[in-house]
């Protein structure tokens, strides 16, 4: 697996997610994954987590349901943390999307 390819594919998907959120006039990235967010503890700190199935559910909810297995695998490779049961740290996803101009509604 070529890491540059993984990053390029994931970046294109993040851009697509941002464009879809903007076109649907959704208020925040957090809103897309509402209902899928859970809390977990890492190093004594409570953080918000998103499991891969929550990522799928949120993306399907905004109409992104045509990612190939390879695209989804690459996206998960960028986002998931093996040390916390392959969960996605929501704050990291929000940071990525903020770099694309979408801000968390709680900020």
Residues spanned by the domain of 81:
3-98
* Structural tokens at position 37: 């967010």
Vertex 100: Cα angle to 104 and 12 (nearest 5):
125
Q: Tell if the pTM clears 0.85, that is, is over it.
A: yes
For the chain, give the percent of residues with pLDDT over 90.
89
Q: What is the pLDDT of residues 66-99, one digit of tens each?
A: 999 999 999 999 999 999 999 999 999 999 999 9
Q: What pLDDT shows up at residue 105?
A: 62
**Which 3 state secondary structure label does DSSP give 40?**
strand
pLDDT in tens, 17-53: 999 999 999 999 999 999 999 999 888 999 999 999 9
State how many domains the chain has: 1
- What is the residue whose two structure tokens read 């709680």? 106
Q: Scan for tokens 């045509």, then name that residue.
A: 66
> Considering the domain boundaries, does residue 104 fall inside one?
no
Residue 103 falls inside a structural domain: no
The Cα-based distances of 106 to 25, 31, 57, 94 in angstroms read 17, 11, 22, 11
Judge whether residue 6 has pLDDT over 70.
yes
Residue 66 lies in a domain: yes
Element (H, E) at 29: helix 29-32
Map tokens 């208020």 to a residue. 27
């Amino acid at each position: 697996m070529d890491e540059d390819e993984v990053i390029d594919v994931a970046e294109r998907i993040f851009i697509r997610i941002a464009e879809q959120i903007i076109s649907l006039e959704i208020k925040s990235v957090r809103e897309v994954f509402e209902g899928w967010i859970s809390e977990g503890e890492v190093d004594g700190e409570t953080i918000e987590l998103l499991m891969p199935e929550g990522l799928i559910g949120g993306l399907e909810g905004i109409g992104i349901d045509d990612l190939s297995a390879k695209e989804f695998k690459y996206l998960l490779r960028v986002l998931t943390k093996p040390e916390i049961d392959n969960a996605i740290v929501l704050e990291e996803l929000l940071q990525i999307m903020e770099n694309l101009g979408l801000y968390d509604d709680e900020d």
